[in-house]
Chain A
Amino acid sequence: MWKYILKRLLYLIPVLFGVTLLVFLIMSVAPGDPAKVILGEQATPEAIEQLRVELGLDDPVLVQYMRYATGLLKGDMGMSYKSKDPVAVEIVARIPTTLKLTLSATLIAVLVAIPLGIFAAVKQNTLFDGLSMFIALLGISIPIFWLGLMLLVLFSQRLGWFPSSGAASWKSFILPGVALGFHSMASIARITRSSMLEVIRQDYIRTARSKGMPYRDVITKHALPNALIPTITVTGLQIGALMAGSVLTETVFSLPGIGRLIINSIQGRDIPVVLGCILVFTIGFSVVNLLVDLLYAYVDPRIKAQYT
């Protein structure tokens, strides 16, 4: 098991270098000279040239990348062009906000989706089933930012229940969490339902029922664990989607998280910060994927047996 985890983590290293190289190349073909963007329209050509030398922008792209990559190996993510602070400091300051947002969205999604999916499957073809699958279908069709804005209008401006911006208290994360999590909730509910439907037709479920086990226990003890694998897979994938969605959600609700930082930095051509943010998201996404694979082993003993 530990060998497997170690192997996965080691494999992450070349992937991360691939990701940074990719983003580096993309940003380098982009129009717009960072030095010019930082100094503004009125800057003299000499001042721009000087800043380019200072930031190392006059070197060939691959030389710049090698410098960045060696720094990264030593744990140095570089300096922000704009604020001159280390990128790591800028990012660490914003991680809690994005983490809280993603966590609340995941919690809302999972806690609603799994019971909804189970009930819809158990009561297949009833009004409840139809209604909850209609809600799920709406969920995967609603743009996150639009739902966010509509929630803002209703709950914060009309009713005044929640603050409309900032990250001051836990209340600030309810609306963003719902806006961000609704889409994932829908996907998870759909997959839970279809996987439950498959499982409750199996022979061992009939056996469990015919031996007189209460239906409730049959569902929670026999059916649910067997139906969870696809649910876990989709939840893991959804967390990746949630990270990307946090960019939009943080914009709508003016939350000072990594999503906001990345948008501002892209516009300001602050390449080290953009790279840093993407790196953090990529690491987060990869770790979630690893956790998902480990969770499989926890849920399904057959998979666990493969690791040892």
Chain B
Amino acid sequence: MEKIKPKIYKKKGPIVEVFLRLAKNKTAILGLIIVAILIIAALAAPFIFDYDDVIIKQNISNRLQSPSKDNWFGTDDLGRDIFARIVYGSRISLRVSFTAVAIALLIGGFLGAIGGYYGGMLDNIIMRFMDVFLAIPGTLFAITIAAALGNNIRNLIIALSISSIPGFARILRSSVITVRDVEFIEAARAIGANDARIILNHVIPNSLAPVIVHTTLNVATIILTIAGLSFLGLGIAPPAPEWGSMLSSGRTYLIGHSYITAFPGFAIMITILALNLLGDGLRDALDPRLK
């Protein structure tokens, strides 16, 4: 008699499961691919284009050229290739936004986690403090800080992360509160785990889903804010190829040379679109109940 081989269902890890669910969502994958291309472009840009020679060197004889075979997106008022500047610009947008989000996640997450876990007085103080931050419309707050500190990349990162902290604090707090009193936390406490261990090993991993989604969407918001600030002349100053400031420099040439303004705008739009698609997809993949 032939032996029946039992089929073994191997339980896949949570990350694999989430990814498999994400992979079924076509628009989310599209978003993921675009984000991946952007990251690769940002990493590869210095090897393709020379910063001093191509990105910022003025070439007046070649100024205001419409899009062509040599200059795919045309050239700006100082004769620089817009395509090269947009590709290089992804470095700035991604670096600044990732750094700012990471800082906001750490500080805001820490405040939210301890507030939600301990509750009481500490929670009250933290959240009243956050109320003050949340009372000012977000972008406006970033504008004020950036303008007050003066425009360089470091100050911009400070401004963006401060204005994102309350959002992260709130999200982490509310999800920590929902898992704080469940049985496995009590079990961990019963076997003598200390608070730091419980928070880091048990509470946070179980409240990550909303944080991941918020992080993705927050990167999108921050990239939009960077562009907005630079557009107002408060973000990253020229000649650095930042999308918002490139867009702003084309304002004088709107009639006849609107492509100078149009292409950086498309770059911002596609980036934000991709991050939003990915964020929505992650939300569905991380929490199938919501679907």
Contact = CB atoms under 8 A, between A and B. Distances in A.
Interface of A: 15-16, 18-19, 22-23, 26-27, 29-32, 137-138, 140-146, 149-150, 152-153, 157, 240-241, 243-245, 247-248, 251, 262-263, 266-267, 274, 278, 281-282, 285-286
A146 B223 CA distance: 14
Contact of B140 (A30, A140, A142, A247): A247
Counting from the closest, the 7 A-B pairs by CB-CB distance are A18-B132, A244-B139, A146-B265, A30-B148, A266-B147, A141-B272, A141-B273
A285 B228 contact: no
B276 interface: yes
19 contacts: A18-B135, A19-B132, A19-B136, A137-B273, A137-B277, A140-B272, A141-B269, A143-B224, A143-B228, A143-B244, A146-B261, A146-B264, A150-B261, A153-B254, A157-B254, A245-B139, A278-B136, A285-B136, A285-B137
Interface in B237-284: 244, 247, 251, 254-255, 258, 261-262, 264-265, 268-270, 272-273, 276-277
B84 to A, nearest CB: 20
A286 B149 CA distance: 26
Contact of A244 (B131, B133, B138, B251): B138
A261 B258 CA distance: 28
Contact of A26 (B148, B247, B255): B148
Contacts of B168: none
Given A278-B136, A278-B140, A248 B268 contact: no
A275 B145 CA distance: 12
A25 B37 CA distance: 41
Interface string B86-105: 00000000000000000000
Contacts of A149: 247, 251, 254, 261, 265
Contacts of A251: 231-232
B119 interface: no
A244 B132 contact: no
B46 interface: no
A179 to B, nearest CB: 12
Contact of A266 (B148, B244, B262): B148
Contact of A138 (B144, B232, B234, B273): B273
A274 B140 CA distance: 11
Contact of B136 (A143, A157, A282): A282
Contacts of A19: 132, 135-136
Interface in B105-137: 129, 131-133, 135-137
B133 to A, nearest CB: 8
Contacts of B268: 143, 146
A115 B214 CA distance: 27
Contacts of A138: 269, 273
A27 B136 contact: no
Q: Is the interface of B mostly helix, strand, loop or mixed?
A: helix
A152 B269 contact: no
Contact of B231 (A18, A32, A157, A248): A248
Which of B129, B138, B140 counts the most chain A CB atoms within 10 A? B140
Given A31-B149, A149-B261, A274-B144, 19 more contacts: A15-B132, A18-B129, A19-B136, A26-B148, A141-B220, A143-B224, A143-B269, A144-B228, A145-B244, A146-B261, A146-B265, A152-B254, A153-B258, A240-B137, A244-B140, A248-B232, A263-B147, A266-B147, A286-B135
B82 interface: no
Nearest to A30: B148
A176 B198 CA distance: 51
B138 A240 contact: yes
B144 A23 contact: yes
A247 B148 contact: no
A257 to B, nearest CB: 13
A247 B228 CA distance: 10
B262 A150 contact: yes
B137 A248 contact: no
Contacts of A157: 254-255
A22 B131 CA distance: 12
A140 B148 CA distance: 28
A14 B272 CA distance: 36
B227 interface: yes
A280 to B, nearest CB: 11
A266 B231 contact: no
Interface string B145-164: 10111100000000000000
